[in-house]
Amino acid sequence: MPTLKEQLSREKPWAILGISRKKYDTIKPWKKAGMTKEKYAEMLNLMPHEAMQILKDEADAERLVESIIFGSQGKDLVAVRAGSRGTRDLGDAVMLRVLEFAQGAYPVVEG
């Protein structure tokens, strides 16, 4: 069991994803990943910041390309893919990438 100091020093999962706590609790990304809320938060905290930045950059690039190709329709198309309704923002795109990571879509390279 982590100490209180360890718990307080960890970054909040919604902050890592770049979304609000309300949105994080509404979307429940840990359920989509098939994990408990605690395990999902632990996974996010164990991810190197560089890896999270890569996922954010990829999600941002994907969002930009889709908006260029599909215009406003691309937002709705991607929102459906992300499992949400309405328009998608960068937080949704990052959560989609993290979900793919949690499900093993990205290989883990040691070293």
Q: What is the pLDDT of residues 20-76, one digit of tens each?
A: 899 999 989 888 888 899 999 988 888 888 888 888 888 888 878 877 777 655 455
Residue entry with tokens 């993290």: 98
Say if pTM beats, i.e. exceeds, 0.85.
Answer: no
Phi, psi of 2 (to 5 degrees): -65, 145
Tokens of 66: 């889709």
For the chain, the C-alpha Rg in angstroms (whole number) is 15
pLDDT at 60: 80
Among 15, 23, 20, 29, residue whose Cα is nearest residue 83: 29
Q: Is 90 exposed, middle or buried (0-12, 13-18, 19+ CB in 10 A)?
A: middle
Residue whose token pair is 């509404």: 26
